[in-house]
Amino acid sequence: MFRILCVLAYFNFVVSDPLNTYCCLEEDGILSENEALCVNPVNEVKKAIRFNCKNTVRLFQKKFNFTVNDNESATIYMGDKPFLQGAGSFCAANETTNNTLKLLLLCTIEEKETNLVLSYCMIVSAIFLALTAILYCALPILRDLQGKSIICFCVSLALGLIILAIMNLVKYSDMNLCAARGFLTYYFMVSSFFWMNSISIQILFRIKRPSVPDYGWRTFSWYALYAFGTPALITIAMSIVNFHPGKHQKPGIGLNTCWFYDKRQQWYYMYSVLSILMAINIAIFCYLSVYLWRQTFLSTHVKELRYKFGMTLKMFIIMGLPWIFEMISTFFEAHIIWTVLDIFNLMQGPLMFIVLVVLRKRVLKALYKSGCLDCVSGLVERYLAIAEDDEEIVQHTIDVPLDDKKHNNI
């Protein structure tokens, strides 16, 4: 998904009539702040520059190191890695009336129709995630520890997708706003993975310490500190690395594009974090699947844990599997199959809604009792009568540790 958002600013744009190294001649003045025009500061006369591309991006020397070579090419440094910008694909200009070069004006790749389709998929997905969060907030019975975590997960993922869609649909001119959108997207996306990890950990802890549903805030606060706080620290650290002067490996967010400079930076700063979290979740799921299915004493609590484990596993597959393919796709050239997987990745919202609302009888019962499903009451009643709800907890059942040999007949 993020592959479509990387604006590849540094590519050789070949033209039959090469541009002059300078955007504006001395008599034409300086480059306009908002347009690709030369403005004379004395008489305010504007003159168009010769630049054969519709979309441009500005690379400021105070934020990014570059040099203009004698052969009218430019060398741009991304960390300690130099990139050669060919003659005719850029022009150099002044930010003020000083004679010192302050910025480069570069061509960027134009947006494709595929990007628009993917952006609209993000919006649809975010709407379903927001609807899921609203339903869980509105129904008190769902606001237990896991329910609150699901709300935070849906909100984080929805905000990340919405900002991604804005980045793709709305053209940017202010690099500071561009950087803010990029870092917010990074934060919310990483935060959604931390919440997925938190939900897995909750089930792991409940397997040894069964208890009634926790509707308080104390335990949830610790999970919130972990799932919101850790991504915040990572994002702050990455922003410091990004804007600190030097030739180290910078993410590139807000320096020349709204997202990471290239796939290498994505792996270095984002995919590495997501890979660690997914590996931890997979290890937890493997342990839980073996432990739960070995239980011979099928108490109400065991059935409930099995149901929640299955629901969480479905959430992880819906969210994690497309990201795994997204990471794999970074090692290959663009292909239609990756676009199809991108679309599937961006339709997480409707799939999450089906798993967390439509297929969860506890939610349907709460909606039915509140009168929200009166128009389809007959259909809901038949669906709920098919089988018992394994998630329901019988309050008078005595809770015992699942590893108690007396109760497990081991």
What the chain holds in terms of domains, given with CATH numbers, is 2-107 (no CATH), 113-290+302-360 (1.20.1070.10)
Residue 294: what pLDDT?
Answer: 77
The confidence band for 365, taking pLDDT boundaries of 50, 70 and 90, is confident
Residue 159: what pLDDT?
Answer: 96
Q: In terms of pLDDT, which residue wins out, 19 or 372?
A: 372
Q: In terms of pLDDT, which residue wins out, 267 or 304?
A: 267
Length of the chain as a residue count: 410
Residue 29: what pLDDT?
Answer: 73
Tokens of 137: 């907030």
Name the pairing type of β-strands 56-60 and 46-48.
unpaired
Residue 70: what pLDDT?
Answer: 72
Q: Other CB atoms closer than 10 Å to residue 299's CB: what's the count? A: 18
CB 82 within 8 A of CB 10: no
The tokens 């994505």 sit on which residue? 266
pLDDT at 316 over 80: yes
pLDDT digits (tens, 9 = 90+) for 179-207: 899 999 999 999 999 999 999 998 888 77
Q: In terms of pLDDT, which residue wins out, 395 or 363?
A: 363
Q: Other CB atoms closer than 10 Å to residue 33's CB: what's the count? A: 10
pLDDT at 244 over 90: no
| Alpha-carbon dihedral 60, 238, 167, 123, rounded to 10 degrees | 180
The tokens 């690395």 sit on which residue? 241
pLDDT at 223 over 90: yes
CA distances from 218 to 200, 204, 205, 224, 276 (A): 18, 18, 16, 10, 27
Work out the percent of the chain whose per-residue pLDDT is above 70.
Answer: 71
CB 402 within 8 A of CB 295: yes
Q: How far apart are CA 191 and CA 223, in angstroms?
A: 12
Residues 6+ apart with CB under 8 A from 258: 5, 7, 167, 172, 178, 179, 181, 182
Q: List the strands of the sheet with 81-85, edge to edge.
A: 66-68, 74-78, 81-85
Tokens of 124: 């649809």
User: What letter would DSSP give residue 370?
Assistant: T
pLDDT digits (tens, 9 = 90+) for 346-356: 788 899 999 88
Residue 7: what pLDDT?
Answer: 36
pLDDT digits (tens, 9 = 90+) for 245-300: 877 778 888 877 788 877 888 888 999 999 999 999 999 888 888 877 776 655 66
Q: How far apart are CA 283 and CA 12, in angstroms?
A: 45
Nearest to 10, CA basis, from 82, 80, 70, 85: 85
Residue 408: what pLDDT?
Answer: 42
Residue 273: what pLDDT?
Answer: 93
Q: In terms of pLDDT, which residue wins out, 38 or 147?
A: 147
